[in-house]
Amino acid sequence: MKIVTKIEFKQTDLGTIPEEWEIVSLGDVCSKIGSGITPRGAEKVYKQSGIALIRSQNVYNNSFRKEGLVYLDEATAREMENVAVEKEDVLLNITGDSVARCCTVPEEILPARVNQHVSIIRTDEGELNPVFLRYYLTNPRMQATMLSLGESGGTRNALTKGMIERFLVPKPALLEQTEIARVLSNLDSRIELNQQMNRTLEAIGTAIFNHWFIVFEFSSDAGRPYKSSGGQMVDSEIGQIPEDWKVAELPKVASVIDCLHTKKPEECVSDFLLLQVYNISVDEGTIDLTEKYTVSRSDYDAWTKNIEVRSGDCIITNAGIVGAIAQIPVDFAGGIGRNITAIRPEHVPPTYLLRYLMSNHGQKEIEKNTDQGTIFDSLNVKGIRKLRILIPPEEILAQFELSSRPLRERVERNNLENASLKDIRDSLLPKLMSGKIRVPLEVR
């Protein structure tokens, strides 16, 4: 192995970088930079399968989200052939609140097209490693640059093709670019592996829940499946349920914390408490950090008087994608933003309440209490308080908690490991991109 022990640096427009690195304009090392288009007919032509149409809601920093992915038929896709996505293309959001979010297109999504809010960046082979570029575009310094540029053009955040072409990018030797990309990708691969494991564990947990509380085959006193062994069933507002079970509206078992109309403080200061604002990943019931505010203690107290959340609280979206459910993770302290309501279980375990709200029964209740708007749907706090919950006897809930605990604890361990891995990645990223840390290179 050859390890660099002494590095000569030079001062550039990007700051101090190793002497042998070049600085290039992105337009000089790319074969394509350009945004997509809106298909003729817009949403009317969206299909459930076919050729993927990638939109801004699918593009996150270093992560592609399949939630909300729509599809086009062959004829519509042919009309958009000039915005076809290719393997290893870098995708960059160029308009709106998600401007500057960036990822590499997953190969399994192809063939695909992009709409007008997403730009394709295709690097020249042999000049710039696309994964290296993606990591460079997501490092904090470049994110700040793009956000500043995006805010300079008018009322709506936007990055133009000309801006992107003029981005200055460090250009180490291609081998070093590849090794930097490999180091960071290895961390992200481990994170993704843990996420895949969590999805499997969550599927197992859901199967156990459904077996007990949807088809009512929990173990009876005699040790046999309840319903199929002739367990007594009675009528209720939500259909037949085991005798001694109840149905009640949500406030009977949990506190509903209203934060629909909360506004962030107008001014933020840097020497007090970090307040975290969360959004929800719809498919997995997980939580992604979307914003951080550092606010004074008085602002924090005023802002979070009614919206503080704790580990174990369930949260539910009120607008946009209505009824997405997640749970506040371990060791969390802070508040949540607008259009999210917190639900704090008091008389049932958090895991039971979370899974019930995510079950078919829970989702039907959510749909029934959602206001169907002309522009977007909404679920207000009044509607949330009307949600009906199935309440089993305490001994059944205790047995379920005991059986599901190993799964839950493994998910929590994976989440903690991922948080640590993300901290390592985010710490390494700017140092690798500036040459402050150099990767070892094999002698060729």
- DSSP-assigned letters across all residues of 303-330: HSTTTEEETT-EEEE-BSSTT-EEE--T
Compare 3 and 419 and report the one with higher pLDDT: 419
pLDDT of residue 428: 93
Quick check: 64 pLDDT over 50? yes
CATH 3.40.50.970 fits domain 246-391 = no
Quick check: 120 pLDDT over 80? yes
pLDDT of residue 1: 36
Reported as a single tens digit per residue, the pLDDT across 326-351 is 787 766 656 666 677 888 888 888 88
Quick check: 6 pLDDT over 80? no
CATH of segment(s) 23-169: 3.90.220.20
pLDDT (average), residues 290-302: 51
Q: Which CATH number is correct for 1-21+172-224+393-444, 2.40.128, 1.10.287, 1.20.120, 3.30.2310?
A: 1.10.287
Domain map (residue ranges) of the chain: 1-21+172-224+393-444, 23-169, 246-391
Distance of CA 231 to the CA centre of its chain: 42
Quick check: 89 pLDDT over 90? yes
Residue 394 contacts residue 253 (beta carbons within 8 Å):
no
pLDDT of residue 260: 46
pLDDT (average), residues 54-60: 91
Q: What are the structure tokens assigned to 41, written together?
A: 């007919």
Residue 146 contacts residue 160 (beta carbons within 8 Å):
no
Compare 304 and 115 and report the one with higher pLDDT: 115
Confidence of residue 15 (pLDDT cuts 50, 70, 90): confident
Reported as a single tens digit per residue, the pLDDT across 408-433 is 889 889 988 988 998 899 899 999 99
Confidence of residue 320 (pLDDT cuts 50, 70, 90): low
pLDDT (average), residues 366-381: 74
Measured on CA atoms in the order 416, 321, 249, 386, is the torsion positive or negative?
positive
Quick check: 71 pLDDT over 80? yes
pLDDT of residue 336: 65
Compare 18 and 312 and report the one with higher pLDDT: 18
Reported as a single tens digit per residue, the pLDDT across 224-279 is 999 999 999 999 988 999 999 999 999 999 988 775 444 444 444 443 334 444 44
- Tally the C-alpha atoms within 13 A of residue 187's C-alpha that lie toward its C-beta: 20
Under DSSP, is residue 57 helix (H, G, I), strand (E, B) or coil?
Answer: helix
Q: What are the structure tokens assigned to 113, written together?
A: 């097209």
Reported as a single tens digit per residue, the pLDDT across 380-405 is 888 889 999 999 999 999 999 998 99
Mean pLDDT of all residues belonging to the chain:
83
Percent of the chain scoring above 70 in pLDDT: 82
pLDDT of residue 169: 95
CATH topology match: 23-169 vs 246-391: yes
Sheet arrangement for strand 340-345: 254-257, 340-345, 314-317, 325-327
- CA proximity to 123, closest of 28, 27, 30: 30
pLDDT of residue 234: 95
pLDDT of residue 307: 59
- DSSP-assigned letters across all residues of 401-424: HHHHHHHHHHHHHHHHHHHHHHHH
pLDDT of residue 323: 79
| pTM of this prediction exceeds 0.95 | no
pLDDT of residue 3: 44
pLDDT of residue 293: 46
Compare 263 and 122 and report the one with higher pLDDT: 122
Q: Which residue pairs, CB below 8 angstroms and at least 24 apart, start in 380-383?
A: 380/260, 380/318, 381/256, 381/258, 381/260, 381/318, 381/341
Which of 88-92, 173-177, 347-351 shows the lowest mean pLDDT across its residues? 347-351
Q: What are the structure tokens assigned to 234, written together?
A: 């009675």
